[in-house]
Amino acid sequence: MANSIFKKCTACGKKWIDKAIFLFDPTISLVGYQVSFDTALEAGFILFNHNCGTTLAVPVNKFQDLHQLPVYIENMTNEEINPEYCLHEDGEQDCQAGCECFHVKKIMNIIKLWPKKRCKS
């Protein structure tokens, strides 16, 4: 079986062999989400800063297994009932609109609370 990696830093070349090691790494910090409204939101990227000074983009679908909540397929960002919390980078509130953004927001909240520790990479 070929060696595979979860993510490789485009600036310094550091490699993370799996998602858990990546998320536990204290040299990685969550920045935000690069939305893709033209296609499914799962085509968007979750952005992280690495301590070497670069920003890493990881496809949302690589984090889908972090929660078992419903994944809505409709984008409701243009609907009157939607307060569009997902469009605000520092937004802490959950939207009740039943929108596909709910899935991404939950993933980001899980990542934000992920414990950091020193681990082999």
pLDDT digits (tens, 9 = 90+) for 73-105: 665 555 565 555 555 555 555 555 566 677 778
The number of beta carbons lying within 10 Å of the beta carbon of residue 25 is 21
Distance between start and end Cα atoms, the chain: 19
What does pTM read for this prediction?
0.76
The number of beta carbons lying within 10 Å of the beta carbon of residue 112 is 10
Domain assignments of the chain as residue spans, ordered by start: 7-112
Pick from 8-22, 47-61, 86-100: least confident: 86-100
Instruction: Tell me the pLDDT tens digit for each residue of 100-115.
Output: 677 778 888 899 999 9
